[in-house]
């Protein structure tokens, strides 16, 4: 019987484990993939929007020679933090369900990558799962073709190719800037009037210059209506359609958190945004003893919670669990 089972080994899950451990609570982390898998899935050469100090957890300094650290630095940092605190983590083991017991404890059912099933007992559970397993599909005919991906890792495979980017966020702009370097022919298709106002300030002027030079063709207030093996069709706001040659489609339309674990244990979701009900002062859900941390606490807008805010959830959770335990002794 653990004091706390934490589902998800992202920065926010690691922070929760550290804070619980500091208060003498026994903890174990269950992770479906590898440590900080969401960061691993970021583009290979991605640079964070945040400074290193805003990504720190457990009072462990994040040394970086860069004002804004890169993905590879974050992977190294979070590995070192997990080692420093000797966190107990089961990697490549998926949590399937969380069951509340008559004595108000929990049983977490899991399966590892060999298909072996396990179960863990805990007095409290923290759900800190991310969202990169669940892309927002656009529902366009042809989206299931092999040429379409919702993940961009690096530009090399697209050297000299005709590439369409669907989206206008930082991920879409970053991908376009990398694709320029390998000589790709780039069409960016975005339903908004202009690319996101949240584009990294040091990237935006360079991006706009590349658009003016014709290195990137941007189709705003437009959408891709069909994807075929060698072309795509773009429709503008007036309903006019254009067919262009295409080799690959990067559908960078964001991701959404998975709610199945929350639903399995009775957590209520608020309205169309599917935001779990929880106390923001403790992060405890409507199910006593079950907490949320990180992006899972947001609604469908996964940009509502970032590492720099979600990392603080662990302290709130640990304080509340410790206080409840003290009151019961």
pLDDT for the residue 299: 65
Please tell me the distance from the alpha carbon of residue 178 to that of residue 172, in angstroms, as a whole number: 10
Q: How many helices (H) and strands (E) does the chain have?
A: 8, 17
- Kindly report the backbone phi and psi dihedral angles of residue 181, in degrees, each rounded to the nearest multiple of 5, phi listed first: -65, -20
Three-point CA angle 28, 30, 19, nearest 5°? 45
The pTM (predicted TM-score) of the whole model is 0.87
Choose between 100 and 273: higher pLDDT: 100
Residues of the chain with CATH 3.50.50.60: 2-133+255-328, 148-251
Give the confidence band of 271 by pLDDT, cuts at 50, 70, 90. low
Question: What's the whole-number mean pLDDT along residues 64-82?
Answer: 95
Q: Is the pLDDT of residue 26 over 60?
A: yes
Give the confidence band of 180 by pLDDT, cuts at 50, 70, 90. very high
In three-state secondary structure terms, 328 is: helix
Orientation of helix 313-328 relative to helix 11-22, angle to 10°: 30
Residue 266 C-alpha from the chain's centroid: 23
Question: What's the whole-number mean pLDDT along residues 105-128?
Answer: 96
CATH class of the domain at 2-133+255-328: alpha beta
The residue length of the chain stands at 329
The listed range with the strongest mean pLDDT (58-67, 254-263, 265-274, 306-315) is: 58-67
pLDDT for the residue 92: 97
Segment 188-198, tens digit of pLDDT: 999 988 888 87
Give the chain's mean pLDDT: 92
From the list 85, 3, 82, 105, the residue with the least C-alpha distance to 35 is: 82
pLDDT for the residue 301: 60
C-beta separation of 317 from 5 below 8 A: no
Question: What's the whole-number mean pLDDT along residues 149-169?
Answer: 95
User: How does DSSP classify residue 55?
Assistant: G
pLDDT for the residue 16: 96
Give the confidence band of 201 by pLDDT, cuts at 50, 70, 90. confident
pLDDT for the residue 198: 79
CATH number of 148-251: 3.50.50.60
Question: What's the whole-number mean pLDDT along residues 111-129?
Answer: 96
Q: Which residues contact 215 (CB under 8 A, 6 or more apart)?
A: 180, 186
Question: What's the whole-number mean pLDDT along residues 211-216?
Answer: 94
Give the confidence band of 68 by pLDDT, cuts at 50, 70, 90. very high
pLDDT for the residue 24: 95
Give the confidence band of 87 by pLDDT, cuts at 50, 70, 90. very high
User: What are the Cα distances from residue 122, in Å, to 107, 111, 165?
Assistant: 6, 17, 45
Give the confidence band of 254 by pLDDT, cuts at 50, 70, 90. confident
Residue 202 has which token pair? 């040091």
Q: Is the pLDDT of residue 328 over 90?
A: no
Please tell me the distance from the alpha carbon of residue 309 to that of residue 295, in angstroms, as a whole number: 9
Please tell me the distance from the alpha carbon of residue 285 to that of residue 297, in angstroms, as a whole number: 10
The listed range with the strongest mean pLDDT (9-13, 269-273, 304-308) is: 9-13
Q: Is the pLDDT of residue 127 over 70?
A: yes
């Amino acid at each position: 019987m653990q004091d706390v089972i934490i589902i998800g080994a992202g920065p926010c899950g690691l922070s929760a484990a550290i804070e619980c451990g500091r208060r003498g609570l026994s903890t174990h982390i269950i992770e479906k993939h590898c440590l900080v898998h969401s960061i691993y899935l970021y583009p290979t050469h991605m640079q964070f929007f945040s400074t290193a100090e805003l990504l720190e957890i457990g009072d462990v300094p994040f040394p970086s020679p860069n004002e804004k650290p890169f993905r590879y630095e974050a992977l190294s940092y979070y590995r070192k933090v997990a080692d420093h605190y000797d966190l107990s983590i089961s990697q490549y083991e998926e949590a399937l369900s969380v069951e509340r017991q008559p004595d108000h404890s929990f049983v977490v059912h899991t399966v590892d990558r060999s298909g072996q099933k396990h179960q863990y007992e805990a007095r409290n559970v923290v759900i800190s799962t991310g969202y990169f397993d669940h892309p927002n599909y656009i529902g366009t005919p042809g989206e299931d073709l092999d040429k379409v991906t919702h993940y961009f890792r690096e530009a090399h495979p697209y050297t000299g190719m005709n590439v369409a980017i669907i989206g206008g966020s930082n991920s879409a702009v970053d991908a376009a800037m990398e694709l320029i370097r390998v000589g790709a022919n780039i069409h960016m298709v975005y339903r908004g009037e202009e690319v996101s106002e949240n584009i990294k300030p040091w990237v935006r002027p360079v991006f706009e210059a590349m658009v003016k030079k014709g290195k990137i063709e941007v189709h705003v207030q437009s959408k891709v209506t069909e994807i075929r093996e060698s072309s795509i069709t773009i429709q503008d706001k007036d309903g006019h359609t254009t067919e262009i040659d295409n080799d690959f489609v990067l559908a960078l339309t964001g991701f959404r958190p998975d709610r199945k674990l929350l639903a399995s244990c009775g957590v209520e979701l608020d309205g169309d945004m599917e935001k779990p009900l929880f106390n923001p002062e403790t992060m405890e859900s409507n199910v006593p003893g079950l907490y949320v941390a990180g992006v899972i606490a947001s609604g469908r807008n996964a940009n509502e919670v970032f590492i720099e805010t979600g990392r603080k959830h662990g302290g709130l959770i640990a304080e509340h669990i410790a206080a409840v335990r003290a009151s019961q002794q």
